[in-house]
Structure formats: structure tokens, C-alpha cells
Amino acid sequence: MATPPRRLLARYPCDVPVEVFSFISEALVAQGRFINISVGGARFDGASPLERGVTYFFRLLWKKKPVELPGRVVWAAPHQPRNPKLREYGIQFNLIREQENLLRTLVESLRRLVQAPEERNIMRDYWKPRG
């Protein structure tokens, strides 16, 4: 019997620089990168410790504009084997409609980038004139 997927929303690989701010004081508490992302959450890698269960603002640049996404740390791994200075975190977003719509646009662009090249060619060739 197949195991059901753990996530409702597909995550897409990315490498996006992110600044992390305290939800309460708005002070910069960490810097790192989103390694994958969906409308529901992301995997964040960073050197500074974040607390599990705490909500932060994750700020990234999208089309040269800052985007702040509130998210709660739902899991934390102590260190990465390939780089012991980095830690991995699972982030669950808590978005308002405007943030969700913006993030959907970003995720959709990532989805298109990770499509297999053959699929992109099929779509492009569909519109070519025949003859």
C-alpha cells in the first residue's frame, strides 16, 4: 500500500536568500536560504538558531521588491552532515490573501522552471505553425 504524501502542496526547489526577523521586535535574527518552497511552507537553511514553534518574518526579494512572509518553525534538524555550521528548518507560512497570491506567482514560476525540458518543448511546439 502506498504511503500518502506528507504535504498537501508540492514544494519546488529553489535557492533564495532570506533574512529572518523577530515577529515581535522586528529585529534581524538570522540569514540563510530557502531550499524549497510552496504556498504552505519552505525549508530554510541557516547558521543562526531559530526556535521551534516560534513565528518569524522571512524577507526575500521577488522582482526586486521585498516580500515578508510570516512563518512558524515546525521542525528543526540540528546540523547538516555536508555543512555542520548550517541548520535545517521546516517553515509553515501563515499568510494573508495578498501574500498568498504573491507567493502563488513565485511558486508557479519555480514550477515552470523545474518542468522537464521535454514538456516545455512539447508546449512550445504545440503553437508552431504546421507545414
- Residue range 77-94: average pLDDT? 86
Sorting pLDDT into bands at 50, 70 and 90, what band is 2? low
Sorting pLDDT into bands at 50, 70 and 90, what band is 40? very high
Sorting pLDDT into bands at 50, 70 and 90, what band is 8? low
Secondary structure (3-state) at 123: helix
Alpha-carbon gap, residue 102 to 71, rounded angstroms: 15
Using alpha carbons only, what angle is made at residue 37 by residues 14 and 49, rounded to the nearest 5 degrees? Answer: 90
Judge residue 41's burial from the number of C-beta atoms within 10 Å of its C-beta, 0-12 exposed, 13-18 middle, 19 or more buried. Answer: buried
Sign of the C-alpha dihedral, residues 117, 118, 124, 125?
positive
Domain coordinates of the chain in residue numbers? 12-126
Task: Give percent of the chain with pLDDT exceeding 70.
Answer: 79
CATH superfamily of 12-126: predicted glycosyltransferase like domains (2.40.10.220)
pLDDT averaged over the chain? 83
Kindly report whether the global pTM for this prediction surpasses the value 0.85: no
